[in-house]
Structure 1
Amino acid sequence: MKNFNNKTLISFSVLFILIGLLQSCSDFLEQEPGTQVSITEQLGTKQGVMTALNGLYSDVEVNVRGERFAVYADLQGGNIKFTPSTTSSSLGQINIPTNIANVYSFDDQSDASNYAIFYSESYDIINQANLILEFTDALTDATQEEKNQLKAEALSIRAYTHFLLSEVYSQNYGYTSDASHKGIVYNTQSITKGIQYPARETAANTYSLIIKDITDALSLYSDNLVLSGPVYSFFNKTNTKALLARVYLSKKDYKNAYETANDVITNSGVSLVNSANYISEWEKPDLPISEILLEFSIPKGNDGTVGGSLSTFFGYTSSTVYGRYVASQDLLDLYETNDIRKQLFLTQSISTLIDSKKDPRNYYFTKKFQGNPGYVAFRLSEQYLIRAEAALGLDNPNLEQAKSDINTIRARANATLLNDTNNLAEVVFLERRKELCFEGHLFFDIARNHKSVSRNDGCISLSCNMTYPSLKFVLPIPRANLNVNPNLEKNESY
């Protein structure tokens, strides 16, 4: 866990009072003399840029750990349902949390989008990354190796954040045969360069720009960190390759996805957690699972206090203190009886209001995010499953490799091993759902594989299912951003 000083982060956050992409920066640029350190002064030294990068990681952590993004893919895909309310006015009732109510029903609104904050915060993060990139080369008190490392991490953050935006606001890469459908705005200049009104790239161009940022970053990384803290808390060459493998898979560039995932598996120096330790590794209250490649660790103050973690949404403390999101029976039914991953669910009986009567019902809280967990961005198991899926998509499909990788994950889980190569595409899809649940993949996996959404257990929406293709597989661009930028096209149906 990174031991950040919260006051440092807050003061630097104030420095970046950037309303978001395409919005006016006049307030920021016209601070009263003596009340604010200017961008030029702050980013004119190595220490200033390091402070900026530290703050940037904190902003990324808050953005992906926030309720909206943290639950999005699993909730929309059907891995998650809700727990009964603990508030006195609706005690025992099962309601849709306000922050995600419209999105959950596949009926978000551009005028008041549930995810407007995620959109604006993502572009704020990108803008901050751009500032670091624009100022780092001019540093006179940093070595070239240090400058390269700073730029590599900023590029990786810029690519990662654009990728998340594309997953949420652009249809999957294969939605059109040539990926000519709308992607996202790809921002490579800070607002200090002047107000810009860019148009959305095509999906093809969006991915090309993401991949360019990642490959540029990989060419700059050194073996020495510039920030202090656990290695797994920061982007480095290995976990940036893990990001690249995920991007290639989303693009259905199976050859590069296969080779990149294979590189990570072979050369990362990280090993899969074994069966004996799998549950205990996830149950650790503070440290991440040992096969982690990148965790966005929660900031911790000098006094050891923690501002928040994923346990806010997924944790269980007592019969009156627990998170709103638990596993659906749809997910639980996928596991075989002897699959040790079933032990990753904490069963708790909670009084639930059903037909005006309160009855005890069992709810299944994930053990992945109890205590003070960080956000799991990349871990090694995903790379095996990327290699398996990519092996099936090669021009000459490598069915045996796909079977072997699936069996590696299954053997650890004490699940039945595959004896043949029948229907492997569906098998790897389901194995991803079981292994990576609550880690933010399912809905994007459904879209990438052109499947339909089917939510059964616990679904309280008027729209529990959605047939692919659908315009509702993406969220609306917030109206405030559309109003500012005349070149920003909305998503259809919103």
Structure 2
Amino acid sequence: MNSKYISIFLSVYIMCICSSCSDFLKEVSQDEFEPKTASAFQELLNGEGYSTTICLDPITDVLTDDVEGAQGQSDNYIDENLAHRAVYTWQSNMYLLLADYDMTNLLHTYQKLYKCIMACNLVIDGLTDADGTEDEKMQTRGEALALRAYYYFLLVNLYAMPYNCAGTNPESLLGVPLVIKPEIRDEGIARNTVAEVYTQICKDIEEACSLLDGKADNTLGLFRINNVAAHLLASRIYLYMENWDKVLEHADVALADAPALVDLTTYQLSNPAFPHYAINNIISRNFPEVIFINGSMSGSIKTEGTLIRVSESGSNALLRLYDSSDARRNIFFSDMSPLYYKYWMAKRGTQEQGFVWRTAELYLNRAEAYAAKYMAGDNSCGQKAVDDLDALRSKRLSNFVAYTLTTPAALMEFCHEERRRELCFESHRWFDLRRYGMPSIEHTWYDASGNRTVYTLKEKDLGYVLPIPQDAMDTNSALIQNELAPERVGEVN
């Protein structure tokens, strides 16, 4: 297998997915880059399907209410930070503004995801006639299907309306183009509906779970998807679809073999004085609760050292959600007083990994599913939700007191708060806000003179769906752009 030609093929695919470029491939012999064995397809998946060096989500953390503007020093108003402002204020022309500041590394999530999908398609299609044992082929196919499900899950949640959007039907909402075969097409590819994309995602993840169950133990390593990771992803997918029974089904299976929750009240960082310099933070291969880790943070917008910081002012600020006994506050964030930053986000430390899937999410997914069933009238599920929340909270609070069950609405609100506390800055909050009904949130911005401007993302705002990048529109004549909001003008106060 020649990785050079595989990379050429994948790059050409991104150009050709929506345009007529098939003649280009005639210059390269197909035999030079076509794997023939199951092990070769696994190598292809490891190198091109897994997104080890790719930042798949460079911006959503700064779209949320977990951040706010920082009144920085004049030397912080550099081109890079001013480019971030376009994203931070939900401007529909953010891509043009980023390009003006030469911040093109933030523009290519759409293309990168389709490149990873194409690698998965090559593996899934090619394994049928590959040499190797059935176990080898089933393992590799299961991983490829899980990855493809994940990448389409990201695409449809970045560039389309939420599946559960009130007053709409996912069967009539524009999703993203579904490409599930490794073929170059001369014609443009239209957007499938949100329902069609989720149908494919569910088909892929269900088959992945079936293939991976019993085919490999948990010694694959954290950089490959095993059966526990696949079931975790399935529980997340069904959570977004509000299919509560399927959430419970997959979370139960995953928790049977998932790592135990870490007691953060006694957990020791390698550098407790400066958590952002530790090597065993939450988003790290060294954190014992991690199930799967992948991706890169290179090129993403960060809160540390920019004009955007962890939200600490206002009634809905993230830092206000942690009480004094919550160990997460001192582990997730680094105290930077007396700078204009009170705290830096320190979950990644020096590992700089893109994302992790960890055991805590399974408890939160299952708790929310139980809480939803409680709201629907199943009184037996209320305490089950509380039990899952308390299982997590008992490992986070030094003076833990069990939650007292009251109304279904109060329980659901507590589920959402606990999810925000636990999973902040792990690429969950933006998607969660979307599925919670796309509430109105505000971002403040201070200019170099200290003037304060407030920008508002209104309830069900068009800004809750990202624009499809213009280069994708230019190369795909069948694509329809999302409805874009007008220029967002802030209120000076």
TM, length-normalised to structure 2: 0.80
Q: Is 1:469 aligned to 2:460, yes or no?
A: yes
Q: Distance in 2 between matches of 1:446 and 1:41?
A: 43
Q: Distance in 2 between matches of 1:244 and 1:231?
A: 20
Query: How far does residue 42 in structure 1 lie from its aligned partner after superposition?
Result: 3.3
SS at 1:59's partner residue? coil
Aligned position for 2:286: 288
**Residue identity matched to 1:471:** L
SS at 1:62's partner residue? coil
**Residue identity matched to 1:232:** L
Q: Is 1:368 aligned to 2:347, yes or no?
A: yes
Q: Would the alpha carbon gap of residues 462 and 30 (structure 1) be closer, same or farther in structure 2, given more than 3 Å must change?
A: farther
Q: Would the alpha carbon gap of residues 483 and 361 (structure 1) be closer, same or farther in structure 2, given more than 3 Å must change?
A: closer
Once the two structures are overlaid, the 10-residue window that deviates more, 106-115 or 339-348, is 106-115
Q: Matches of residues 307-326 of structure 1 in structure 2 within 5 Å?
A: 309=297, 326=309
Q: Would the alpha carbon gap of residues 425 and 44 (structure 1) be closer, same or farther in structure 2, given more than 3 Å must change?
A: same
Q: Distance in 1 between matches of 2:362 and 2:196?
A: 25
Aligned position for 1:301: none
Q: Matches of residues 353-432 of structure 1 in structure 2 within 5 Å?
A: 360-394=339-373, 395-397=376-378, 398-414=381-397, 416-422=401-407, 423-432=410-419
Q: Give unpaired runs (5+ residues) of structure 2.
A: 99-105, 486-493
Q: Give unpaired runs (5+ residues) of structure 1.
A: 1-7, 299-308, 317-321, 351-359
Q: Distance in 1 between matches of 2:154 and 2:97?
A: 17
Q: Distance in 1 between matches of 2:4 and 2:335?
A: 38
Query: How far does residue 427 in structure 1 lie from its aligned partner after superposition?
Result: 1.0
How far does the alpha carbon of each residue in 1:239-277 deviate from its partner, in whole angstroms, 9 at most, with x for none?
111111000000111121122222222x12421112344
Q: Would the alpha carbon gap of residues 168 and 99 (structure 1) be closer, same or farther in structure 2, given more than 3 Å must change?
A: farther
8 Å contact from structure 2 (residues 71, 446) kept in 1: no
Q: 1:452 aligns with which of 422, 436, 439?
A: 439
Q: Distance in 1 between matches of 2:337 and 2:469?
A: 39
8 Å contact from structure 2 (residues 146, 230) kept in 1: yes
Q: Distance in 2 between matches of 1:268 and 1:376?
A: 20
Aligned position for 1:443: 430
Q: Would the alpha carbon gap of residues 436 and 369 (structure 1) be closer, same or farther in structure 2, given more than 3 Å must change?
A: same
SS at 2:360's partner residue? helix
8 Å contact from structure 1 (residues 158, 213) kept in 2: yes
Aligned position for 1:319: none
Q: Distance in 2 between matches of 1:77 and 1:159?
A: 24
Q: Distance in 1 between matches of 2:385 and 2:220?
A: 33
8 Å contact from structure 1 (residues 246, 257) kept in 2: yes
Q: Distance in 2 between matches of 1:54 and 1:220?
A: 18
Q: Is 1:97 aligned to 2:81, yes or no?
A: yes
Q: Would the alpha carbon gap of residues 261 and 49 (structure 1) be closer, same or farther in structure 2, given more than 3 Å must change?
A: same
Aligned position for 1:218: 209
Q: Distance in 2 between matches of 1:277 and 1:11?
A: 50
Q: Is 1:348 aligned to 2:336, yes or no?
A: yes
**Residue identity matched to 1:442:** R
How many residues align structurally? 447
Aligned-residue identity in percent: 24
Q: Would the alpha carbon gap of residues 257 and 222 (structure 1) be closer, same or farther in structure 2, given more than 3 Å must change?
A: closer
Query: How far does residue 196 in structure 1 lie from its aligned partner after superposition?
Result: 4.4
SS at 1:405's partner residue? helix
How far does the alpha carbon of each residue in 1:288-335 deviate from its partner, in whole angstroms, 9 at most, with x for none?
32111111166xxxxxxxxxx56986597xxxxx57764221211111
Q: 2:160 aligns with which of 165, 170, 177?
A: 170
Q: Distance in 1 between matches of 2:401 and 2:233?
A: 30
8 Å contact from structure 1 (residues 328, 457) kept in 2: no
Q: What's the RMSD between the two structures over aligned residues?
A: 3.3
**Residue identity matched to 1:172:** P
SS at 1:365's partner residue? strand
Q: 1:271 aligns with which of 253, 260, 280?
A: 260
**Residue identity matched to 1:183:** G
TM, length-normalised to structure 1: 0.80
8 Å contact from structure 2 (residues 335, 342) kept in 1: yes
Query: How far does residue 93 in structure 1 lie from its aligned partner after superposition?
Result: 3.8
Q: Would the alpha carbon gap of residues 290 and 453 (structure 1) be closer, same or farther in structure 2, given more than 3 Å must change?
A: farther
Q: Would the alpha carbon gap of residues 95 and 446 (structure 1) be closer, same or farther in structure 2, given more than 3 Å must change?
A: farther
